[in-house]
């Protein structure tokens, strides 16, 4: 069934309205973008403005920590962006127009540099990004370098925002941590996991002139109990997964749920994605593929609550 047709069915059946009324009125909806075109995001923001009330990650953290869930508005929605793509800098006027203050999760060793996002390199395309996610991180980096795309080498043009972009957005956006280099955390050894999580926060705060960095998003949605312990010790207030669902007063602040929204989604398909159904089906398919790939590679699949796209 075509996406827009399914979207029309969801709207006609009242499923989208019903789920919002049942789950979203007093629970927080968190949406996850990567690098949407401003024209697409404007349509999405207009939809959100009609059906939700924008809030912030800090407000959600306050409500969880203080036990005052009623301090949040009805139908609260938090807008988030993963990776800190250069195109995010062009969204500032939309944020101001719609009165939304998103959280943009940055990789501290990629922002402000010419280093590429590893999954967007030619080497990752040739080797297979999904296969690379299943091997130890040192092995992933070695394979990329041998295939001609050292993750620490500069690309021709920057793919991430610069620090000037971050400073220009400071009046209309918050910034969180997305590790230093976007590894698959369960594939990192203990020392590297500690550095990717804790040093990321320190480096971002230095780059932002001391502005606190208190929120984290798991690259690709992958994490384990070790990573949760590091996050808590590092002083983060929240961590966002990509497990679809709504967040209530009993939600673990280190396992906040989030709906991934396609950067090019039409509004009907956006409404379908906010049901969580496409994501759950994709997770099941990816879990089956991952299990087969892991069996072939002789390695266990990473711990995760929900699988993520190569660009998560």
- DSSP line for the chain: --HHHHHHHHHHHTHHHHHIIIIISSSBEEEEESS--HHHHHHHHHHHHHH-EE--HHHHHHHHHHT-GGGSPSSEEEEEEEETBGGGGGGHHHHHHHT---EEEE-TTTTTSSPPPGGGSHHHHHH-HHHHTTS-HHHHHHHHHHTT--TTSPPSS--B--HHHHHHHTTT-EEEE--SS---GGGS-HHHHHIIIIIHHHHHHHHTTT----EEE-GGGB--HHHHHHHHHHT-SEEE----S-B-TTS-GGGB--EE--TT--HHHHHHHTTTHHHHHHHHHHHHHHHHHHHHHT-PPPPBSS---TT-
Q: State residue 156's pLDDT score.
A: 86
Q: Is the pLDDT of residue 221 over 80?
A: yes
Q: State residue 277's pLDDT score.
A: 77
Q: State residue 288's pLDDT score.
A: 77
Average pLDDT over residues 223-244: 97
pLDDT digits (tens, 9 = 90+) for 137-190: 999 999 999 999 998 899 888 999 999 999 999 999 999 999 999 999 999 999
Q: Is the pLDDT of residue 21 over 70?
A: yes
8 confidence band (pLDDT: 50, 70, 90):
low
23 confidence band (pLDDT: 50, 70, 90):
confident
Q: State residue 67's pLDDT score.
A: 95
273 confidence band (pLDDT: 50, 70, 90):
very high
Q: State residue 294's pLDDT score.
A: 64
Average pLDDT over residues 84-104: 98
pLDDT digits (tens, 9 = 90+) for 274-312: 987 766 666 667 677 767 766 766 655 555 544 444 445
pTM above 0.85, yes or no: yes
Mean pLDDT of the chain: 90
Q: State residue 250's pLDDT score.
A: 96
Q: State residue 120's pLDDT score.
A: 95
Under CATH, to which class is 3-196+212-297 assigned? alpha beta
Average pLDDT over residues 120-129: 96
């Amino acid at each position: 069934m075509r996406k827009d047709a399914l979207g029309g069915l969801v709207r006609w059946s009242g499923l989208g309205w019903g789920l919002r009324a049942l789950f979203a009125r007093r629970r927080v909806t968190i949406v996850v973008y990567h690098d949407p075109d401003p024209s697409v995001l404007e349509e999405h923001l207009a939809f959100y403005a009609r059906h939700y009330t924008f809030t912030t990650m800090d407000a959600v953290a306050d409500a969880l920590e203080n036990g005052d869930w009623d301090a949040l508005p009805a139908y609260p929605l938090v807008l988030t962006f993963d990776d800190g793509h250069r195109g995010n800098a062009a969204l500032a006027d939309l944020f101001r127009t719609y009165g939304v203050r998103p959280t943009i999760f940055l990789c501290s060793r990629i922002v402000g540099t010419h280093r590429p996002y590893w999954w967007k390199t030619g080497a990752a395309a040739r080797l297979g990004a999904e296969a690379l996610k299943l091997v130890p991180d040192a092995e992933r980096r070695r394979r990329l370098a041998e295939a001609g795309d050292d993750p620490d080498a500069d690309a021709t043009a920057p793919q991430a925002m610069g620090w000037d972009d971050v400073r220009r957005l400071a009046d209309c956006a918050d910034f969180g941590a997305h590790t230093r280099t976007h590894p698959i955390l369960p594939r990192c050894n203990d020392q590297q996991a500690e550095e990717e999580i804790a040093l990321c926060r320190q480096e971002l705060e230095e780059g932002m002139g001391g502005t606190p960095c208190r929120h984290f998003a798991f690259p690709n949605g992958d994490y384990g109990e070790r990573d949760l312990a590091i996050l808590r010790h590092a002083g983060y207030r929240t961590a966002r997964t990509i497990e679809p669902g709504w967040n209530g007063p009993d939600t673990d602040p280190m396992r906040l749920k989030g709906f991934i929204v396609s950067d090019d989604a039409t509004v009907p398909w956006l409404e379908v994605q906010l049901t969580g159904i496409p994501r759950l089906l994709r997770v099941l398919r990816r879990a089956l593929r991952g299990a087969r790939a892991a069996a072939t590679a002789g390695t266990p699949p990473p711990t995760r609550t929900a699988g993520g796209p190569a660009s998560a």
